Amino acid sequence: MHTPASDRYDSMVYNRCGHSGLKLPTLSLGLWHNFGDTARYDNMKAICLTAFDHGIVSFDLANNYGPEPGAAERNFGRILREELGAHRHELLISTKAGYGMWPGPYGDFGSRKYLLTSLDQSLQRMGLDYVDIFYHHRMDPDTPLEETMGALDQAVKSGKALYAGLSNYDGPTMAKAAAILTDLHCPFVINQNRYSIFDRTIEKNGLKDTAVRLGKGIIAFSPLAQGLLTDRYLHGIPEDSRMRTDGRFLKDNALTPERLAQITALNDLAARRGESLATMALKWILKDGAVTSVLVGASRPEQVLDDLKVLQSPDFTEEELAIIDRNS
């Protein structure tokens, strides 16, 4: 069993999640990539332990994270069992259901049948009695919103989740869902959405403003635009990059000459600020206090340590923000 660093809470900043009593660390660790059955267990363990030793107590999963689907939860469950189980009360563990998980009519989207069955399976894979946050992973155009929100409410009231969350919702749909959950007295506290300098969808679809207005938190994923908001692609596409090894989420055509010029300008700005482009990109997401936590991924422990530099990043000037906007 891991003995964590005694000073693990000294430098991390914890932000209140909307108007709730829940606090999240400025950075949370996402297990979307690098925690499936194709990854080395010792590396997964080192990433998680490094995060916890530096105050990152929030670990984010989903039923379909792998490969194969379910593998990330199983591997994280092993880490809990062997290393972090004695500290379960210090951890904020979340999972989700909403994307395709098993064949047939009950393994996808937002039915009561799918969500509650999936949660039971997630708990079994991780060896847990409950998760701290259970998310519906995406909007479902066919299932009544009342049914999906009722399933989240039952998950909480059954003791299998402490809080409810929504992921990949737009502002109007989230507002309708929030009204239903308020009537049910269900603690819906957080939204999980993609957000970065290069992807401002939540500003355009009303999610960000609506979350602030309703007092709900936001946790942002893909903050580095799958690696584009780093110096990794400044001089071409590395052979070991995600663009080369996993083209599902980042394709070659994403790196246009125009995008490369933007990345170069942003990298120059970050250098003038005395930090890396990645650190600046993380800081940008946190600039106005609307985002509670930023979800970072890692393929090795050193990346976690690099991400933590955002805690020392200076605030932006109006001129810097204008430069970022011109290159987004």
Q: Share the mean pLDDT of the chain.
A: 95
DSSP per-residue string spanning 157-225: HTTSEEEEEEES--HHHHHHHHHHHHHTT--EEEEEEE-BTTB-HHHHSSHHHHHHHHT-EEEEE-TTG
CATH code, domain with 52:
3.20.20.100
The answer to whether residue 240 sits within a structural domain is no
The answer to whether residue 99 sits within a structural domain is yes
Global pTM exceeds 0.85? yes
The answer to whether residue 138 sits within a structural domain is yes
Structure tokens at 62: 């989903």
Q: Side chain identity at 181, as an amino acid letter?
A: L
The answer to whether residue 323 sits within a structural domain is no
Structural domain count, the chain: 1
The residue whose two tokens read 């989230």 is: 174
**CA–centroid distance for 286 within its chain:** 14
List the domain range (segments joined by +) for residue 106.
14-230+287-315
| One pLDDT digit (tens) per residue for the chain, 328 residues | 999 999 999 999 999 999 999 999 999 999 999 999 999 999 999 999 999 999 999 999 999 999 999 999 999 999 999 999 999 999 999 999 999 999 999 999 999 999 999 999 999 999 999 999 999 999 999 999 999 999 999 999 999 999 999 999 999 999 999 999 999 999 999 999 999 999 999 999 999 999 999 999 999 999 999 999 998 888 766 655 555 555 555 556 777 889 999 999 999 999 999 999 999 999 999 999 999 999 999 999 999 999 999 999 999 999 999 999 999 9
pLDDT at 242: 57
Structure tokens at 236: 């071409």
CA dihedral 300, 163, 125, 223 (to 10 degrees): -20
DSSP-assigned beta bridge partners for residue 14: 25
The answer to whether residue 109 sits within a structural domain is yes
The answer to whether residue 270 sits within a structural domain is no
The answer to whether residue 129 sits within a structural domain is yes
The answer to whether residue 321 sits within a structural domain is no
